[in-house]
A and B are shown apart, each in its own frame.
Chain A
């Protein structure tokens, strides 16, 4: 079968939080950079909708997993930066292990079906 060009994948519910936290592990960043980073790192497979990114950031902040502060961006403009908190790190660890368990389970379940279909 010919490989289709990579189409964008819809983010699964709840995974956006995980991705944001993971991104912030690299260091404080602002919303736009976070979105770009996720997009780039996933080789453009994942596109973060701006409409869900910002509410998610505020929600994470409300949960105390990230902290926000104002700083100057690389271009010298005022931007709202986010950094992960220790509470956020703990959350990331637990979310990641949940996610890994989930993908493993999905993998186990999906594999035989794929082989049978061959």
Chain B
């Protein structure tokens, strides 16, 4: 056995080795010739005899060379080198092929990236699979409840958990310099970061005191918030910020990509929970009242199973229940601990992206198929041009396998090049995808960095694509007729190949698939347009929404009511404002999917209606048509007679065709049985759920309720809403700077966001469809142009023999039309089947 080491050292000095062999053979020949001359031959004869004796010198060299060459490695390297040369020689071909592949792969990469980060990516915490959510389930009702803080200590002593912490997310009023803003805060146990195994990128994940159970006014910023609000300044550590006016000290910044346990929820700042029983007036959420239930997360010890831990924790619960004084648990009957793994993370608001992403994944795969077919087609056509080269290579001894390998090396290079391009394209497409993610009152983040997993996916996809588009041409084109090829011009011998079934099937399937994509895009677009509400008057783009959060800890209900009324008054007077009003929820808000109450005019006949609380001016601002009666006024205030406005559906349900004005309604579950007088009727609308039919609805005004997180709706008479937004902010500042506003957008944007599913599909499927169409058209053009150019001679002969130009044209067009016809038929069949499949998953039918 030749040692690998020696082989390698010889390979390194292979040039010297060759030289040595050459010199050695020369010496041999000289010696041999000398001897022959001594035997009596002439010098010339002797030299020739010596050479003859040596035999095939090339073969000899080749034989010897195997000792320092790595055939298995060097041949592929040779193939690749040759492929690189070819790639550079055919720049246009390379660019077109790589670009169409890259578009296909890139689209897949972007959607994979989105799916991965939304659904599959493990949470960026250590050993996420050990994390469980603890809840208490009631045997009687089957409902679950959050464990109270009083149970935290027994839970920790169960001995099966490595650590237990609680969390609660809520909006906070943040002030640092200038006006207050509303941020998402999360109140967590001091050991939160330690149990999750998350370190801060600067500072500490809470100070050591807090981590060991004491309390201090520590704040840990999220990476995004740190970047957005402080520009990533590392000097923030130790600075004081105010949350709901209470001073906190920034002690650390959590790492990028860490968003806690709910995917997509962008928490800005985390602060520690107060110790048992203590309360902070400014931040009620910080308090650790013993009966308060909080999200409770535990990390299992590595040697305890879920069932084991559940049993141990249950023992603690039964013990706790015997002594607890908290009514809902003391009187709750049989209760048990339920542990649910949360390592995958709750996908929360991102759930609505799931179906569109899966659908798009399928569509993108189709595009890739089309792109592969295109490139395969191009490769076959190019192989025809290279037929001579292939024939020459095989005549001097290249085996078919070697030729195929050469072709595959070219495909591989092409697909890797396309893959690299695809990462760039994918990143860009992913960026476009993020624009569709709805931003409600809680900001949503999508970690769209092209992570290693996506790059790996791209690599795998490139290889699959390489085989898909490279194998068939490699097999087909290396099956060459040597003699014919070398003798004649190349087109004749390979001609029957390109006009063969392979290209035709490819082009027809391209047509079919792009048709499927276009039909899909059409359906999605139609669905979206059908759902686009016309309920909100003209120009939803002129309606500006400002959500406000006057913190309940700082402003009393009376203050909030007065401030809201004053704000509406001031903003209504701003020039350019047609109407302005506040609503607790407003149409299509992100805060509630719906708020419903049973309403009755006569006892015993409740009608379920959507409810909201609004001020005067609201209906005109959003453009809900007032049908009868009046709007709310400023005199509809606390203490004055209770009034409501209802929509036509509710009026019809309660009173039939009778006039509803001045009638009274009650809330069926209102113990005080307060009567509300109907003072107005407005038109129907899809108020909370844009996908459903208009529902009965009732609007109260802020008479016995104060705004909690109201949204100011302002209708502008001009299209330029920027100036108006500035003016409204100015009014707010003049009124009170501690009134954070956020989530400023137009009603149009809000409508778009509630149609996120349909919009993603309509837009991206449309883009994908046109991409596919362009690819198919290019493919069709390519094959026709090629087949026509190949038949130039035939056309000439036909014309010479008297064929009319028209009949020749028809002869050529027939081929194209046939391909188109077959492709379209197949495409339509597929579309119908695909649509059936889809409509089961997505209830957004055409026929609405």
Q: A32-B31, A54-B24 are in contact. Are A59 and B67 (CB under 8 A)?
A: yes
Whether A31 and B54, one on each chain, are in contact in the complex, defined by CB atoms closer than 8 angstroms, is no
Partner among B2, B21, B30, B32 whose Cβ is within 8 Å of the Cβ of A54: B21
Q: How far is the CA of A55 from the CA of B24 in the complex (A)?
A: 12
Q: Does B562 contact A (CB under 8 A)?
A: no
Interfacial chain A residues near B23, Cβ < 8 Å: 78, 80
Q: Does A6 contact B (CB under 8 A)?
A: no
Q: Which of these binds chain A: B55-63, B184-192, B320-328, B814-822?
A: B55-63
Within 8 A of B (CB), among A28-79: 30-32, 49-52, 54-55, 58-59, 62-64, 73, 75, 77-79
Q: How far is the CA of A93 from the CA of B329 in the complex (A)?
A: 93
1/0 contact trace for B4-30 toward A, CB 8 Å?
001100100000000011011101101
Q: Does B39 contact A (CB under 8 A)?
A: no
Q: How far is the CA of A79 from the CA of B7 in the complex (A)?
A: 23
Q: Does B3 contact A (CB under 8 A)?
A: yes
Shortest Cβ distance from residue B638 to the other chain A in the assembled complex, whole angstroms: 102
Whether B6 and A64, one on each chain, are in contact in the complex, defined by CB atoms closer than 8 angstroms, is yes
Partner among B2, B7, B27 whose Cβ is within 8 Å of the Cβ of A30: B27
Whether A31 and B64, one on each chain, are in contact in the complex, defined by CB atoms closer than 8 angstroms, is no
Whether B6 and A32, one on each chain, are in contact in the complex, defined by CB atoms closer than 8 angstroms, is no
Number of A interface residues in the complex (CB < 8 A): 20
Shortest Cβ distance from residue A113 to the other chain B in the assembled complex, whole angstroms: 36
Within 8 A of B (CB), among A76-93: 77-80
Most-contacted residue by chain A among B6, B32, B64 (CB, 10 A): B64
Interfacial chain B residues near A32, Cβ < 8 Å: 27-28, 31-32
Q: A32-B27, A50-B28, A54-B24 are in contact. Are A64 and B64 (CB under 8 A)?
A: no
Interfacial chain A residues near B24, Cβ < 8 Å: 30-31, 54, 79-80
1/0 contact trace for B29-66 toward A, CB 8 Å?
01110100000000000000000011110011001100
Q: Report, as a range, how many residues of chain B touch the other chain.
A: 20 to 34
Shortest Cβ distance from residue A30 to the other chain B in the assembled complex, whole angstroms: 7
Whether B27 and A54, one on each chain, are in contact in the complex, defined by CB atoms closer than 8 angstroms, is no
Chain B interface main SS type: helix
Shortest Cβ distance from residue B239 to the other chain A in the assembled complex, whole angstroms: 72
Q: A64-B3, A79-B27 are in contact. Are A51 and B55 (CB under 8 A)?
A: yes
Whether B27 and A58, one on each chain, are in contact in the complex, defined by CB atoms closer than 8 angstroms, is no
Interfacial chain B residues near A75, Cβ < 8 Å: 34
Shortest Cβ distance from residue A49 to the other chain B in the assembled complex, whole angstroms: 7
Within 8 A of A (CB), among B137-187: none
Whether B67 and A54, one on each chain, are in contact in the complex, defined by CB atoms closer than 8 angstroms, is no
Whether A62 and B60, one on each chain, are in contact in the complex, defined by CB atoms closer than 8 angstroms, is no
Q: How far is the CA of A59 from the CA of B21 in the complex (A)?
A: 13
Whether A62 and B27, one on each chain, are in contact in the complex, defined by CB atoms closer than 8 angstroms, is no
Q: How far is the CA of A74 from the CA of B499 in the complex (A)?
A: 71
Interfacial chain A residues near B64, Cβ < 8 Å: 54-55, 58
Q: A54-B25, A55-B64 are in contact. Are A80 and B20 (CB under 8 A)?
A: yes
Interfacial chain B residues near A30, Cβ < 8 Å: 24, 27
Q: A59-B67, A64-B3 are in contact. Are A80 and B27 (CB under 8 A)?
A: yes
Q: How far is the CA of A30 from the CA of B20 in the complex (A)?
A: 13
Interfacial chain A residues near B27, Cβ < 8 Å: 30-32, 73, 77-80
Shortest Cβ distance from residue A115 to the other chain B in the assembled complex, whole angstroms: 40
Q: Select from chain A the residue with minimum beta-carbon distance to B30.
A: A77
Shortest Cβ distance from residue B627 to the other chain A in the assembled complex, whole angstroms: 100
Whether A49 and B67, one on each chain, are in contact in the complex, defined by CB atoms closer than 8 angstroms, is no
Whether B25 and A62, one on each chain, are in contact in the complex, defined by CB atoms closer than 8 angstroms, is no
Shortest Cβ distance from residue A60 to the other chain B in the assembled complex, whole angstroms: 10
Closest 6 CB pairs of A and B: A51-B55, A55-B63, A32-B31, A55-B64, A80-B24, A62-B2
